[in-house]
Structure 1
Amino acid sequence: MTESTQKKYHLADFAEIPGTACPCGTARRAFADVSEFPGTLHVTEISEDAELHYHKKLTETYYFLECGSDAQMQLDDEIIPVHAGMAVVIPPGVRHRALGSMKIINIVFPKFDPADEWVD
């Protein structure tokens, strides 16, 4: 869980944050309860059957930690190859999904809201 300390910083141990099912696979989400941070930070393990979806309010930034050699992202009608060390900013309204198994860091602004996940 996200841990608030008596100090002015906040820690998250992703090994202790339970995974939550999402259209991409399984997300571990941190810092939703930190008022000083205007977003959330997720570590997401993306499954082979990730669903095409979009957000009306959220901007997501995917940073690819681990990818297979054939990993791709669908962004609206375009499919682009991706690899570890790349990042992509996905503004509101862009339909997206990962193609292939991968592990990402997802930085979400404003704070993640599960009611803002729209699957086609």
Structure 2
Amino acid sequence: MPESTQKKYHIADFSQIEGTSCPCGTARRAFADVPEFPGTLHVTEISEDAELHYHRKLTETYYFLECGEDAKMQLDDEFIPVHAGMSIVIPPGVRHRAIGSMKIINIVFPKFDPEDEWLD
């Protein structure tokens, strides 16, 4: 039986992915072109002035890698203190923004669509 030369895995080196501006700061996005993965994976550096926004279709899961001392998330009208090691699932329709500097992993399902970012 011949060996397959096609790899069955996918690798993302975030140091080689160009950052893209987003309402939160700068996102490096991976796996949008991987059919076997139904979402995308982002490493995002949040700026101090992230904009309040929501998504109509996307569910985001933030995992906080680094956070400034007074970092918070606004989720609708609630303000939640956050720190490294925490995670938050943000379903469609929840208005959200990061307050303070932080670096996160963002797992997005279905695949990220820039047309599904809605600002107030």
Normalization by structure 1: what TM-score?
Answer: 0.95
Query: Is residue 63 of structure 2 the alignment partner of residue 68 of structure 1?
Result: no
- Secondary structure in 2 aligned to 1:32? coil
Q: Distance in 2 between matches of 1:75 and 1:119?
A: 14
Q: Distance in 2 between matches of 1:8 and 1:38?
A: 16
Aligned residue in 1 for 2:35:
35
Q: Distance in 1 between matches of 2:6 and 2:76?
A: 44
Which is greater in Rg? 2
Q: Distance in 2 between matches of 1:68 and 1:82?
A: 9
Q: Distance in 2 between matches of 1:90 and 1:70?
A: 20
- Secondary structure in 1 aligned to 2:115? helix
Aligned residue in 2 for 1:109:
109
Q: Higher strand fraction: Structure 1 or Structure 2? A: 1
**Percent identity of the aligned residues?**
87
Q: Distance in 2 between matches of 1:19 and 1:69?
A: 24
Q: Distance in 2 between matches of 1:80 and 1:103?
A: 16
Q: Distance in 2 between matches of 1:80 and 1:44?
A: 19
Give the Å deviation of 1:6.
2.4
Q: Distance in 1 between matches of 2:6 and 2:63?
A: 30
Aligned residue in 1 for 2:13:
13
Q: Distance in 2 between matches of 1:97 and 1:59?
A: 14
Runs of 5+ consecutive residues of structure 2 not aligned to the other structure? none
How well do the aligned residues superpose, as a CA RMSD in angstroms?
0.9
Runs of 5+ consecutive residues of structure 1 not aligned to the other structure? none
Q: Distance in 1 between matches of 2:100 and 2:82?
A: 10
Aligned residues: 116
